[in-house]
Amino acid sequence: MNLFELFISSILNNNIALVFILGMCPLIAISTNVKNAKGMGLAVVLVVTITAMINWPIYQLLLKTNTEYVSLIVFIITIAATVQILEILIEKFIPKLYNAFGIYLPLITVNCVVLAVSLFFVNRDYNFA
């Protein structure tokens, strides 16, 4: 499969938001204008990417032999810490966007798509790439 086919496939038939209907809550809640929607979308993508990059090695090196419950707890702690750091950075560097997000930025922590991506590599035995 070449990169173009992979790109089209990830946008259409393997798109986590369209196929599994995950991650729509923050977009719908904060999309009062295009700037806020772009900011929230970027924040969710950033959190998903960072937490997946952190959770995969933790799972492979430490949690693979433990129960699934321990993995869930560690994943949730990683997600909460990542969102908290992102919230602090946005408040410091982009205060207007931080004020526009309001309560919705910390709610990324409990967004189903963020945890789902970390669980996908566990349940489907994905590699890091």
Check pLDDT > 70 for residue 18.
Answer: no
Dihedral sign computed on CA atoms, order 24, 6, 123, 85: negative
* pLDDT for 21: 63
Q: What is the pLDDT of residues 79-127, one digit of tens each?
A: 888 888 988 998 999 898 888 777 777 777 767 777 777 777 777 777 7
Quote the pTM value: 0.68
Q: In the chain, what's the furthest Cα-to-Cα distance?
A: 46
Check pLDDT > 90 for residue 24.
Answer: no
Distance (Å, whole) CA 109 – CA 86: 11
Domain boundaries, the chain: 31-123
Q: Who has greater pLDDT, 16 or 84?
A: 84
C-alpha closest to that of 111 among 12, 59, 63, 43? 43
